[in-house]
Structure 1
């Protein structure tokens, strides 16, 4: 762990409050897909992973961990593939703008990012949102200048849980996978860490994942990234 020099963060549920940011956006998209029918829209949200009894998206659900292309395929199965591809572009455009405009930072996330950047860590984002959405959100949060890169599902050949983003970040920074920590709130994040040979897999409980769902794949589970500077910098001091 003392050799960690770069950190890849998931975005939603790790840097921003997933539930507060995304339910209203998902609801609008579901209503559109349902032709304005409230019951049908609720059914679409449910199959995408929204638990109405708990008022939150389920861990590792399509909406929590999938891409816009996954959501379009789930909600519009009867639409030809070429048309779904065009619809996905529209989803990307809408969610990039709306997600950035409505992004709610998790408590302590900005301070944690600033502390890690000041300590010399190379920082990146690995998300199954679009690359444009990730970049706009970092700008909206006022932290874009501290990140080397943001990778969306459309920025690599294969998105999470494939290891492509780890390799892309290593190519950019000159670091080895063993020098990268992957931090996220879903199993997809940690599966990518394992597949890519990341030196550290960090689960956080600030999103949709639970300790039970994350612990089997994580080296450590923290409440949120607010705890990450002390965890990593403490390890350096102990070296």
Structure 2
């Protein structure tokens, strides 16, 4: 653990309560896509990964782990690429604003981040939300100043699970990938860690991922990010 000098955090499900934050936003977008038809909107939510019986988004579903561009491609398959690109910009704006307004921090997440930052670790965020959405949410939570950078799907050539954000973070901080721990609640996060040669791949059970889905890819599995300081032997402030 002493070789770890930096941490890349996933955002939703790791720092932010995914279900509490995103169902209302997703429902609004689905209703918009369905022209206000409730039944049609529910079908769109279903194919994007919402489990109505369990009232949560499924692990590794498009809504839980994908980008706005992937959601639009799923919901508007008949739309031409140029129009989809315009729609993605609109989705990015809505999710950035509403995601920040609706953001609910996971218990202990802000305190954990503050302690890790105070210990001298370099911190970053990598998300398949937009970069603007990540920055607005971190600001709303009052922790933006603790991070070196936030990388959305639009900040790199290839979003998660590709390792581009890992390389960008290492270029920025001067760290080696082997000195970086990556923590997230979906397989995309852990696959990115493996692809990028990260020193530690940490799964958390605070989001949409399950013990069954994360265990095969994780070096360590934690209940939440609040347990991370203890893992890295950092005193909680």
Q: Same fold judged by TM-score > 0.5? A: yes
Mapping of residues 40-51 of structure 1, within 5 Å: 40-51=40-51
Matched, 1:213 2:213: yes
Establish whether residue 156 from structure 1 lines up as the match of residue 167 from structure 2.
no
Give the aligned CA root-mean-square deviation in angstroms.
0.9
Q: 1:169-215, CA deviations, whole angstroms, 9 ceiling, x for partnerless residues?
A: 00000000000000000000000000000000000000000011001
SS of the residue 2:232 aligns to: helix
Count of aligned positions: 235
Q: Which residue of 1 aligns with 2:75?
A: 75
Stretches (4+) displaced over 3 A: none
Q: Partner of 1:134 in structure 2?
A: 134
Equivalent-residue separation in structure 2 for 1:59 and 1:184 (angstroms): 12
State the distance in 2 between where 1:93 and 1:39 align.
25
Structure 1 equivalent of residue 4 of structure 2: 4
DSSP-derived class of the 1:116 partner: helix
- Deviation string, structure 1 residues 119-159 (Cα, Å, up to 9, x no partner): 11100000000000000000000000100000000000000
Aligned to 2:169: 169
Structure 1 distance, partners of 2:28, 2:137, is 19
Query: Which residue is 1:237 aligned to?
Result: none
Query: What is the correspondence of 1:14-53 to structure 2 with a 5 Å cutoff?
Result: 14-53=14-53
Which sections of structure 2, spanning at least 5 residues, go unmatched?
A: none
Give the 3-state SS of the residue equivalent to 1:162 in structure 2. Answer: coil
Match of 2:233 in 1: 233
Q: Residue 213 of structure 2 aligns to a residue in which SS?
A: helix
Q: TM-score, normalised by structure 1?
A: 0.97
Query: Structure 1 residue 2: deviation in Å?
Result: 1.8
Give me the whole-angstrom Cα distance separating, in 2, the residues matched to 1:33 and 1:100.
Answer: 21
C-alpha distance in structure 1 between counterparts of 2:48 and 2:85, whole Å: 19
Partner of 2:190: 190
The CA deviation at 1:39 is: 0.5
Unpaired runs of 5+ residues, structure 1, are: 235-239
Kindly state the Cα deviation for residue 222 of structure 1 after the two structures are TM-superposed: 0.1
Q: How far apart are the structure 2 equivalents of 1:196 and 1:82?
A: 31
